[in-house]
Structure 1
Amino acid sequence: MKYMILHADGMADHPREELGGRTPLQAASTPHLDRLAQGGELGLLAATPESVRQGSGLMGTAILGYDPKKYYQGPGPLEAASLGVAVGEHDVVYRCTMVTLRSDAQSGGKGGLNEIKKLGPHVVMDDATAGLISTEEARELIEAVNEQLGSEMIQFYPGLGHRHLMVWVNGKSRAVCTDPQLLAGRPITDALPTGDGSDILWKLMDASFQILRDHPLNDERLDAGQKPANCLWLWGQGRAVLWPSLSERLKMSGVVVSQSDVHRGLGIMAGLEAVDGARLAGVDLRTQAAVALEELKTKDFAYVHVELPDEVIYGLDVPAKVKSIEAVDRELVGPLLEGLAQLGSYRIVAVCDWGNAPHGQAAEGPAFFAYRDSAAVLAAGAGRRFTEADARASTVPPRDATKFVVRLFAKGS
């Protein structure tokens, strides 16, 4: 028996006017995901308690069987695990996102990128991805910041694209920080860090702005019509905590297959092997499916995480999201189901959540799932689809996300 969790991150969405009131999933052609919904169990996953901090990796923590209230400390420590950054028991890892800030034309500024003197009033979050800056360019900038601001207490580490890390040795973890995506197009004044340690964070962010604003690479980006990465935004912090091994708990071998550092780190924290990021960097969906199936030849379980491209998640092109969902179904889900059948009997659960809601939207609605046991004979749900609406209409009661991995491996489930 082979086991798989397929985590489709960020595909759930609001009904869209451009799609006649349908969600992108409803508008997309997804025959393979629909086959799971029709031939298995479809329903909602119980919502995460409001008391739990939100962020990337939260749903993955739950569906791998870990109580987020105890084990989810924010995305920072998960990314550190993926990148191999050594973190002490009392150290705090912050997500360090490269962003583009500009002056607020409506508050007296001219709306330019070069008019800001320091962080504060009249400054707007122009782009929370710094124009989807490349990893190579970002590495040069993060190294420049670390050269000037790094110390025995503070270190900056390069990641991928606009996503990076800062480790604060024996640092403060209780400051209130804001996901920059929630600020897109909005003033940053009321979203700058507050609380314990916020004065240090504020100074570091402002100092990074002074360094990056005048960096030659940003001058080149401006000349090329690209947005400058002119500030490091600190958020998503947490301390690294020890997770009990999922492999030991369930007595199985497992692997995580993901291009996301957060979700690779999540798998590593859970005691799974992680496919080398270099092996997946820039590969297409069919290759990711092939890698997962190759790993399953020698392992019992695979946690396969996929998210839509950044330009789709953070863009405004709704039809592009529909096409991306169709590509996931056609080039990842289809080959996975075909390959699993060739490996013998299997159980698979496909989970879809809201991911990181772009452009200041709040994620709405619970995650949902489709569960299929190839050995079980189930009444087919004719016409049922893998969509938000069909999951809500299911007669199956909401399932506790943290219990699902145990059910996946349970005998006779």
Structure 2
Amino acid sequence: MKYVMLHADGMADLSRQELGKQTPLQAASTPHLDRLAKEGELGILAAAPEGVRKGNGLMETAILGYDLKKYYQGPGPFEAASLGVTVGEQDVVYRCTMVTLRADASAGKGGLDQIKKLGPHVAMDDATAGLIATEEARELIEAINEQLGSETIQFYPGVGHRHLMVWVNGKVRAVCQDPQSLVGRPIADAMPTGEGADHLWKLMDASFQILRDHPFNAERSKAGQKQANCLWLWGQGRAVFWPSLAERFKITGTVVSQSDVHRGLGIMAGLEAVDRARLAEGDLRAQAAVALEDLKEKDFAYVHVELPDEVAYGSDVAAKVKAIEAVDRELVGPLLEGLAKSGPYRLAAFCDAGNVHQDQAAEGLGFFAYRDSAADPAAGSGRKFTEAHAQASTVPPRDATKFVVRLFAKGS
């Protein structure tokens, strides 16, 4: 028996006027995902318990079977695990997102060059710094670490606009905001508050002073590109020990993902992270092939797929529909075909709104389809892998943390 968890990250959404009040999933042609919904079990995931902080990696922690109140500390530690950054028990890992700030026209303060400190006269323009390339961002992160790094503060380069800051013996209880939720808004009311906030504020302000005047950003402006002119700190947490899936269920496994959050999450769960070089960035067929190849030697594959950044962070709804169709055609189809040839399998496909729309009503649209090839296909004629069909299912909401027990159950 082979076991697969497929996480379709960010594909759930709200209904859109441009699509005739359909969601992108409803508008997309997804025959392979629809087959899972029709032949298996379709339903929604129960909401996270009260008191659990929201953030990237939350649902993934749950579907891998870990108690959210005990094991979910925020996405920062996941990225540290993926990047191989060693942190101590009392160290705090912050997500360090490279963003573009602009002068808020309503404040009448002129351009950014006239702004001395971050405050109400500054607004969030772009939470990805114009989708800055990894190598370009590395130069800026290294400049920041050279000037702001110390025995207690270190900055580490990641991928694209996503990087890390480790605060040795740092404060973890600050309230920090996801920069994506601030686009187009003044940042004053969204700066860190609570324990350690003063230090975080100073670091962010200092990063603004350094990056705004960096020659690299002058070149970006001349080229018509958005400046990467500030580091936004958020998503913090301490790394905690996770009992491995191998220990709990006596299985071997792999995580197939380009995302540092999901690679790190898999590593913390004791899975082997596939080398990015094997995934041929953006090639969905390669991702399916790698998962199937690794399943020849391993029992379990956690396959994470997310829409391209330019689609996930953009406003082109038609592009999102096409991207969803590509996932179904180039990843899900080949994966199901390969699994059918290899013998009996169980596959659980999960879909949520992802990290981009956390401030919208799309949050909480997590749903699943579950298929055991050894069981007779369900009579789900007309059922599709969509938010509406999952909501209409007669299956009661499932506790996401219990799903992994069902997946690996012997003889069921």
Bin the TM-score by the shorter chain: over 0.9
The CA distance in 1 between the partners of 2:156 and 2:276, in whole Å, is 16
Is the contact between residue 2 and residue 300 of structure 1 (CA under 8 Å) also seen in structure 2?
yes
Is the contact between residue 345 and residue 375 of structure 1 (CA under 8 Å) also seen in structure 2?
yes
Q: Secondary structure at the match of 1:114?
A: helix
The answer to whether 1:19 aligns with 2:19 is: yes
Is the contact between residue 39 and residue 379 of structure 2 (CA under 8 Å) also seen in structure 1?
yes
Alignment of 1:371-386 (within 5 A): 371-386=370-385
The CA distance in 2 between the partners of 1:323 and 1:283, in whole Å, is 14
Write the letter of the residue equivalent to 2:31: P
Alignment of 1:85-104 (within 5 A): 85-104=85-104
> What residue ranges of structure 2 are gaps of 5+ in the alignment?
none
> What residue ranges of structure 1 are gaps of 5+ in the alignment?
none
Alignment of 1:1-400 (within 5 A): 1-110=1-110, 112-280=111-279, 282-358=281-357, 360-400=359-399
Pick which of 48-57 and 242-251 moved more: 48-57
The CA distance in 2 between the partners of 1:187 and 1:245, in whole Å, is 43
Write the letter of the residue equivalent to 2:103: S
Q: Secondary structure at the match of 2:368?
A: strand
Is the contact between residue 39 and residue 372 of structure 1 (CA under 8 Å) also seen in structure 2?
yes
Structure 1 residue 44 displacement after superposition: 0.5
Structure 1 residue 117 displacement after superposition: 2.0
Is the contact between residue 314 and residue 358 of structure 1 (CA under 8 Å) also seen in structure 2?
no
The CA distance in 1 between the partners of 2:377 and 2:159, in whole Å, is 43
Normalized against structure 1, the TM-score is what? Answer: 0.98
Structure 1 residue 370 displacement after superposition: 0.3
Write the letter of the residue equivalent to 1:76: G
Is the contact between residue 12 and residue 362 of structure 2 (CA under 8 Å) also seen in structure 1?
no
Is the contact between residue 92 and residue 168 of structure 2 (CA under 8 Å) also seen in structure 1?
yes
Query: Per-residue displacement from partner, 1:16-54 (whole Å, max 9, x unpaired)?
Result: 000000000000000000000000000011111241111
Residues 1:13 and 1:199: Cα distance change in structure 2 (over 3 Å):
same
Write the letter of the residue equivalent to 2:79: E
Aligned residues: 412
Query: Per-residue displacement from partner, 1:111-159 (whole Å, max 9, x unpaired)?
Result: x443432101111000000000000100000000000000110000000
Is the contact between residue 65 and residue 401 of structure 2 (CA under 8 Å) also seen in structure 1?
yes
Is the contact between residue 259 and residue 281 of structure 1 (CA under 8 Å) also seen in structure 2?
no
Structure 1 residue 280 displacement after superposition: 2.5
Is the contact between residue 314 and residue 359 of structure 1 (CA under 8 Å) also seen in structure 2?
no
The CA distance in 2 between the partners of 1:153 and 1:281, in whole Å, is 36
Structure 1 residue 361 displacement after superposition: 2.9
Structure 1 residue 362 displacement after superposition: 4.8
Q: Secondary structure at the match of 2:144?
A: helix
The CA distance in 1 between the partners of 2:338 and 2:125, in whole Å, is 44
Residues 1:55 and 1:228: Cα distance change in structure 2 (over 3 Å):
same
Cα RMSD for the two superposed structures: 1.1
Write the letter of the residue equivalent to 1:88: G
Work out the percentage of aligned pairs sharing the same amino acid: 81
Q: Secondary structure at the match of 2:232?
A: strand
Normalized against structure 2, the TM-score is what? Answer: 0.98
Residues 1:81 and 1:213: Cα distance change in structure 2 (over 3 Å):
same
